[in-house]
Structure 1
Amino acid sequence: MQRLRLLLCTGSLLCTTLAQAGTAIVIGGALRQDNPTVWQRVVREAGGPGARIAVFATAAANPERSAQQIITALQREGADARFIPVAPRLPGEDLQARLNDPALIEQVRSSQGVFFSGGAQELIVDTLQPAGQPSPMLRAIHEVVDRGGVVAGTSAGAAIMSRMMFRDAQDNLGILRGQWREGREYDRGLGFVGPDLFIDQHFLKRGRIGRLLPAMQRLGYRLGLGVEENSAAVIKDRQVEVIGARGALLVDLREARSDARLPAFNVRGARLSYLDSGDRYDLATHQATPAPHKLREPRIDPAASDYKPYLPRGHFFGDILGDGAIVSAMAQLLDSPADEVRGLAYEPVPGARGRASRLGFEFRLYKAPGLQGWFSGALGGEDYTVLDARLDVIPVQVAHPLYTPLRPTAMPASAPHP
């Protein structure tokens, strides 16, 4: 078994080699207690019932409460889960003493799994990796993964999984418009999924395709994975398996290009794939495999001679960054007669008077060779898998107000009074 070695890269950037022996479980946030699929998988990857799992609520506003909720869920599945009291917001504790406590470090090192709570991801990296340097506690966590253990994290605990991460970037449009500062919007992550995959969370619910695309472009990532709430991506041996309530969006920029002449973010030829629960993706071959229940259904191939689209012609999405809008647009593209589906990302100007304009972005999804998918209602919903939808994003000027009310006209004299 190859060991995972920590390296200091140019500029003191912490990175990892690809020889990761363990499993990373990236949870998109808002993980429900009654989602046994995800909780059971964490315990299973750690070794099954009796597995020792160290719980870090370092990111949490109320570490003790968050840790206890996680411990309860893991213990319900048979794990021996224990709180590691290393959190800046834990009252009455000496953070540095706990962080460097040999007994706590050994407890982590001897665990078979590590679980990071949600909260503020900057608290995790600032605590475990101050000034970009791995602490002894972080080295102990990497040892767990190195020998085949599992590292899991939800929300903030998912954000820290990639080599670089969003630090505090709540404004999707702000990122699209170029707001991008080291130590503010982005920072070093902990690198549990290797150096070539960028992670985002709460993805569909919060329309975070708007921040993922420019972040990947700025940081030089070709592959990005946005995991939806109450769902998880299990990453092991360069394989991604999606589990839980919904799915994850894979963004592939390997063939994408941009126009440097345009004064704002733009991209052409991005590939988007929506991986539903049970779907898999091979990071080495870039091949996706739908869930077994999907493969029992006919493949939807717009290029096939017998293609019969089910949905009406795709409509325009007035807020492409809305809850689930990007996946709805992809489903429209796959399963409707439309050759393209468009949407707009913009923000009204509160209180604007007269005609004004503001920078927005048009999202254009379009059919191209390779687009295919599957649909299934076997799990009680209308569930699509969509592979290789193409996307262009171009900057546009949006007029404000975008629309104006019609004014009443004079009522004809012959018209009866109401």
Structure 2
Amino acid sequence: MISNAPTGTVVLIGGALQAGSDAVWQRIVDEAGGPGAPIAVFPTAAHDPERIGAHIVAALNRCGARAEAVPVAPHLEGVDLQARLHDPDLVARVAASRAVFFSGGAQELIVDTLQPGGRATAMLQAISAVFEAGGVIAGTSAGAAVMSRLMFRDAMDNLAVLKGQWRAGHEYDQGLAFVSPDLLVDQHFLKRGRIGRLLPAMRALGYRHGLGVDENAAVVIKGAALEVIGGSGAVLVDLAEASADAELPAFNLRGARLSYLDAGDRHDLASGVTTPSQRKLQGRRVDPAAAGFTPGLPSDRYFLDILGDGCILGAMTQLLDGPAAEVRGLAFRANPRAGDPAPELGFEFQLRRGPGLVGWQAQAVGSDDYTVLGVELDVVPVRVANPLFTPLAALPRPVVESVLAGRGGPKENGDGDGQR
């Protein structure tokens, strides 16, 4: 773990970069010094490190780098891992690099290999030296997760974390601390609904800021300055004014602030100022508090699975550009697992228009690309029925036909209430 204040550049990739994502690879090369920049690639997290390492090396070299894979990975066959970690020649080659890239896979393999028991190996010290000299530390998926001082280790079940499953060495662990000590990083964020684990993790670990990077997107960090690149975006969470009710027997939160930063947007963590991309500034400014505001999204959808693919962003954009001042969604398990200690426990996410909510929509016709700043969020624990629903009982045909025709049910004794 590095101890000094960040001095280099960090590039966090949310995972699953798509074809045509050379802009992200090129940015890493450019930040490392441009053509010929030596980059050390660590496929440490991968279960097929030779193949994954070769793929990353090829992508970087295609953009002009001089990248090489570092054979330090638990799943490399026939390799003395401990010898490689302390090989002076290999360590020196890494230290002489201008950038280090961590592959995806399982992040626990990275920390357990480079920082066993929280102690930095000679190899990790060489990586830290690259950063402290102004170099680049980049990573995708698992390689992005390790960048915080504390990280998600094995917390794949968002709802279980919301319900309180949170153990050191299991759901979370020490990270490598290449970003601000007050920033918790997550990845595959919108695709996998990881707002469900980020919020309770931030509260439990004492973080003010959380950054959830989506798939096919990256965030470039220099000190307190963030810039989003790639084909998607990132969710920034601020808990500076958030509170919780200690009397409630489950996780709850009031007053969290969420923002969605799209490609090209910049944000300064120190000042709290966001600068939308030029593409957004040339588009439509959306301010639901402005006189004459006309919603661009007429939907009044209730999100029955707020942890579903992209749903939290859908709720944020609906709040910004829709007709209602509040949007709600539910996180629950409709088919509780055996042994679930609280099968009836769910959480309602209540998104509200607070002071300062504003956004921008890209100018292109039919574009649904938004930047959304300042959504207020409460998370309220609720009891969900189990089963959630039951089949309707069969009704006589005349009753069914009457209901379908919109005439209501049968009337008794002329009372007109349609009840039986």
Q: TM-score, normalization: structure 1?
A: 0.92
Instruction: Tell me the amino acid that sits aligned with residue 37 of structure 2.
Output: A
Structure 1 residue 258 corresponds to structure 2 residue 264: no
Correspondence for 1:238: 224
Instruction: Tell me the amino acid that sits aligned with residue 320 of structure 2.
Output: L
- Structure 1 residue 237: Cα displacement: 3.0
Distance 2:280 2:299 in 1: 24
Contact preservation (8 Å) 2:282, 2:363:
no
- Structure 1 residue 266: Cα displacement: 0.4
Correspondence for 1:84: 70
Distance 2:2 2:377 in 1: 30
Structure 1 residue 17 corresponds to structure 2 residue 8: no
**Residue 159 and residue 357 in structure 1: after superposition, are their counterparts in 2 closer, same or farther (change >3 A)?**
closer
Structure 1 residue 140 corresponds to structure 2 residue 140: no
1:338-367: CA deviations, max 9, x gaps? 010000000023599xxx961000000000
Structure 1 residue 330 corresponds to structure 2 residue 319: no
RMSD between superposed Cα atoms in Å: 1.8
Within the candidate set 74, 80, 91, 1:105 is matched to 91
Distance 2:88 2:117 in 1: 22
**Residue 411 and residue 314 in structure 1: after superposition, are their counterparts in 2 closer, same or farther (change >3 A)?**
closer
Within the candidate set 157, 163, 166, 2:149 is matched to 163
Instruction: Tell me the amino acid that sits aligned with residue 129 of structure 1.
Output: Q
**Residue 21 and residue 378 in structure 1: after superposition, are their counterparts in 2 closer, same or farther (change >3 A)?**
farther
Distance 1:93 1:107 in 2: 18
- Structure 1 residue 225: Cα displacement: 0.1
- Structure 1 residue 382: Cα displacement: 1.4
Instruction: Tell me the amino acid that sits aligned with residue 197 of structure 1.
Output: L
- Structure 1 residue 198: Cα displacement: 0.4
- Structure 1 residue 16: Cα displacement: 3.1
User: Secondary structure of the residue that 2:192 maps to in structure 1?
Assistant: coil
Instruction: Tell me the amino acid that sits aligned with residue 161 of structure 1.
Output: M
User: Secondary structure of the residue that 1:193 maps to in structure 2?
Assistant: coil
Distance 1:350 1:215 in 2: 22
Distance 1:30 1:245 in 2: 11
- Structure 1 residue 32: Cα displacement: 2.8
Contact preservation (8 Å) 2:264, 2:277:
yes
Instruction: Tell me the amino acid that sits aligned with residue 55 of structure 1.
Output: V
- Structure 1 residue 314: Cα displacement: 2.7
Range moving further from structure 2, 157-166 or 401-410: 401-410
Correspondence for 1:391: 377
- Structure 1 residue 15: Cα displacement: 5.4
Within the candidate set 254, 257, 268, 1:268 is matched to 254
- Structure 1 residue 407: Cα displacement: 2.1
- Structure 1 residue 313: Cα displacement: 4.3
Contact preservation (8 Å) 2:279, 2:363:
no
Alignment of 1:10-409 (within 5 A): 14=1, 16-18=3-5, 20-349=6-335, 358-378=344-364, 381-409=367-395
Distance 1:349 1:196 in 2: 36
**Residue 257 and residue 350 in structure 1: after superposition, are their counterparts in 2 closer, same or farther (change >3 A)?**
closer
**CA radius of gyration, larger in:** 2
Identity %: 62
Contact preservation (8 Å) 2:333, 2:343:
no
- Structure 1 residue 411: Cα displacement: 2.4
**Residue 351 and residue 106 in structure 1: after superposition, are their counterparts in 2 closer, same or farther (change >3 A)?**
closer
Contact preservation (8 Å) 1:16, 1:194:
no
User: Secondary structure of the residue that 1:399 maps to in structure 2?
Assistant: coil
User: Secondary structure of the residue that 1:262 maps to in structure 2?
Assistant: coil
Correspondence for 2:415: none
Distance 2:201 2:210 in 1: 10
User: Secondary structure of the residue that 1:374 maps to in structure 2?
Assistant: strand
Q: TM-score, normalization: structure 2?
A: 0.92
Contact preservation (8 Å) 1:100, 1:136:
yes
Question: Gapped runs of 5+ residues in structure 2?
Answer: 402-420
Range moving further from structure 2, 203-212 or 306-315: 306-315
Distance 1:68 1:57 in 2: 9
Contact preservation (8 Å) 2:12, 2:144:
yes
Contact preservation (8 Å) 1:113, 1:151:
yes
Distance 2:13 2:309 in 1: 18
Distance 2:309 2:293 in 1: 29
Correspondence for 2:412: none
Question: Gapped runs of 5+ residues in structure 1?
Answer: 1-13
Correspondence for 1:8: none
Distance 1:381 1:64 in 2: 40
